[in-house]
Amino acid sequence: MVSILEQSKELSSSIIGWRRHFHQYPELGFNEYKTAEYISSLLEEFGVEVQRNIGRTGLVGILGEGNPCIALRADMDALPIHDIKTVEYASKVPGVMHACGHDAHMAMLLGVAKLLAGVNLSEGSIKFIFQPFEEGQDKDGVGGADAMLKDGVLDGVDAIIGQHVNAELESGVFQIKSGYFSAAVDTFSGEITGKGCHGAYPHLGIDPIFISAQVINAVQAVISRRIDPLEPAVISFGKIHGGTAANIIPPKVELDGTIRSLNPSVRSILQKDLERAFQLSRNFGGNYRLKIIKGYPSINNHSELVTLLREVAIEILPTEKIIEGGLGMGAEDFSVFSDSIPGAFYYLGVQLNPATSHHAPDFDIDDSVLYIGTAILANAAVKFLSREKKL
Ligand SMILES: [Zn+2]
Ligand SMILES: [Zn+2]
């Protein structure tokens, strides 16, 4: 085990170099053409078999044959943000930036492929999944993980592991927990209709702004009165629009928002009760339209994979660098994979001083610790393949 850590450390400058290359040439979701080409040529150079165009711009590297088979996943897409950093590896593409750390995920996974291509796998195989478009979905609601799953990327795969760098977590820290790790996300788009009229004569119309206020309040009651207090749930209105002038009651108000939950049963209560809150519009003489756009499920980390990853981390890191937790109400489409087969997802701390935030235009990470992510994934894959007990 120590040898893979040492090899990862020796590979550190290459990993940093790859990450900084990706950082300079970011591409948006489902447009990761040059990124995929760069990865493919490196994988082939390492002696890893490459399958292109899995999930549109995604690609897969394969080492070994048959089962057990473990998949390791990195995402490839950047964000529509203009990089304001002045470092020499800042984005060279105006308005596009790796502001979430997916550049680091690709670089770490390339490191794993290089290391394991030089190891004789006793049995089974490893799939290196380079997934496009994690940050969103196309107009038909298809994200990168959905597209790859549809193309059969998990066929014959027994388990999957993914990691995310975390710029708000002390550098070099490994953070994981069993069970829920990210939230399910659904989006809604609503419209409350009334009847427009003069603001001085409200009785002549039906005021959709007043009705919206009742609906918004009722939605808060869904969270506080309808959901088990021990179950996390969020409904946030992020966009509300109605009206054109101070003295006109408008005919309609548009309300959009996000729904977050962990437990699938809570997820369905939230959707049903959001609809019931909107139905209040009819009690006030108005009407409504509500569209709920289904997003990703929550990540529910498989306990045996978490145990395996923790064992690996203990061999690599001092105990104070291994911490429990990581659950937040953010979403991550790794859940599309881990909903299909046993999966586990963890954070690697990459905090700079001063720290930067994900999705911010000055986002940057401490890339000197990326070799740790490579070592953890590589060791976890080897350990998984040599396990006696199957999942
Ligand atoms: Zn992100
Ligand atoms: Zn991300």
Q: How far is the CA of 359 from the centre of ligand 1 (A)?
A: 6
E-strand spans in the chain?
49-51, 59-64, 69-75, 125-131, 159-166, 174-176, 179-182, 184-193, 197-198, 233-242, 248-249, 252-261, 287-294, 299-301, 322-324, 343-349
What are the residues whose beta carbon lies below 5 Å from ligand 1 (ion)?
100
pLDDT tens digits, one per residue of 316-338: 999 999 999 999 999 999 999 99
Do 305 and 285 share a domain, yes or no?
Answer: no
Q: How far is the CA of 104 from the centre of ligand 2 (A)?
A: 10
Which amino acid, one-letter code, is at 257? G
Do 118 and 236 share a domain, yes or no?
Answer: no
Q: How far is the CA of 104 from the centre of ligand 1 (A)?
A: 12
Do 131 and 73 share a domain, yes or no?
Answer: yes
Do 160 and 189 share a domain, yes or no?
Answer: no
Which amino acid, one-letter code, is at 256? D
Mean pLDDT, residues 9-23: 98
Q: How far is the CA of 124 from the centre of ligand 2 (A)?
A: 29
Which amino acid, one-letter code, is at 364? D
Q: How far is the CA of 135 from the centre of ligand 2 (A)?
A: 7
The values of phi and psi at residue 160, to 5°, are -135, 140
Q: How far is the CA of 320 from the centre of ligand 2 (A)?
A: 25
Nearest to 321 by CA among 300, 296, 351: 351
Those residues with Cβ within 8 angstroms of residue 325's Cβ, 6 or more apart along the chain or in another chain: 175, 177
The helix or strand, by DSSP H or E, that contains position 260, with its residue range, turns out to be strand 252-261
Mean pLDDT, residues 71-93: 98
CB 146 within 8 A of CB 134: no
Answer yes or no: is pLDDT of 99 > 80.
Answer: yes
Domain count for the chain, please give it: 2
Answer yes or no: is pLDDT of 282 > 60.
Answer: yes
pLDDT tens digits, one per residue of 187-197: 999 999 999 99
CATH number at 95 reads: 3.40.630.10
Mean pLDDT, residues 264-293: 98
Q: How far is the CA of 302 from the centre of ligand 1 (A)?
A: 23
Pick from 240, 272, 294: which residue ends a domain?
294
Mean pLDDT, residues 215-226: 97
In degrees, to the nearest 5, what angle opens at C-alpha 104 toward C-alphas 37 and 342?
Answer: 90
pLDDT in the model for residue 43: 98
Mean pLDDT, residues 26-32: 98
Mean pLDDT, residues 177-185: 98
Cα separation, 317 vs 346, whole angstroms = 15
Do 151 and 17 share a domain, yes or no?
Answer: yes
Please give the structure tokens belonging to residue 29.
């979701």
- Percent with pLDDT over 90 in the chain: 95
Nearest to 32 by CA among 72, 100, 78, 81: 78
Nearest to 92 by CA among 24, 45, 156: 24
Does any domain span residue 391? Answer: no
Per DSSP, what are the bridge partners of residue 198?
248
Q: How far is the CA of 132 from the centre of ligand 1 (A)?
A: 13
pLDDT tens digits, one per residue of 145-172: 999 999 999 999 999 999 999 999 999 9
Domain holding 230, by residue range, is 184-294
Does any domain span residue 390? Answer: no
- DSSP secondary structure, 106-153, as one string: HHHHHHHHHHHHTS--SSSEEEEEEE---S---TTS--HHHHHHHTTT
Answer yes or no: is pLDDT of 3 > 90.
Answer: no
pLDDT in the model for residue 343: 98
Cα separation, 239 vs 258, whole angstroms = 10
CA of 102, nearest ligand number? 2
Answer yes or no: is pLDDT of 270 > 60.
Answer: yes
Residue the block writes with tokens 């109605």: 242
Does any domain span residue 380? Answer: yes
Q: How far is the CA of 159 from the centre of ligand 1 (A)?
A: 24
Do 162 and 198 share a domain, yes or no?
Answer: no
Q: How far is the CA of 369 from the centre of ligand 2 (A)?
A: 18
Pairing relationship of beta strands 343-349 and 159-166 according to DSSP bridges:
parallel
What are the residues whose beta carbon lies below 5 Å from ligand 2 (ion)?
100
Answer yes or no: is pLDDT of 350 > 80.
Answer: yes
Q: How far is the CA of 98 from the centre of ligand 1 (A)?
A: 9
Do 238 and 320 share a domain, yes or no?
Answer: no
User: For residue 18, what are the CA distances in angstroms to 119, 155, 162, 377?
Assistant: 21, 29, 19, 17
Mean pLDDT, residues 204-216: 98
Do 116 and 52 share a domain, yes or no?
Answer: yes
CATH number at 253 reads: 3.30.70.360
Do 27 and 84 share a domain, yes or no?
Answer: yes
pLDDT tens digits, one per residue of 108-141: 999 999 999 988 887 899 999 999 999 999 988 8
CA of 136, nearest ligand number? 1
Cα separation, 35 vs 62, whole angstroms = 18
Q: How far is the CA of 101 from the centre of ligand 2 (A)?
A: 6
Do 285 and 309 share a domain, yes or no?
Answer: no
Q: How far is the CA of 280 from the centre of ligand 2 (A)?
A: 38
CB 353 within 8 A of CB 345: no
CA of 135, nearest ligand number? 1
- DSSP secondary structure, 30-84, as one string: T--HHHHHHHHHHHHHHT-EEE--TTTT-EEEEEE-SSSEEEEEEE---BS----
Which amino acid, one-letter code, is at 313? A
pLDDT in the model for residue 2: 52
Average pLDDT, the chain: 97
Mean pLDDT, residues 37-58: 98
Cα separation, 74 vs 15, whole angstroms = 14
pLDDT in the model for residue 390: 74
pLDDT in the model for residue 20: 98
Pick from 254, 278, 294: which residue ends a domain?
294
Which amino acid, one-letter code, is at 204? L
Nearest to 23 by CA among 106, 79, 91: 91
Q: Which one is predicted more confidently, 391 or 57?
A: 57
CB 144 within 8 A of CB 326: no
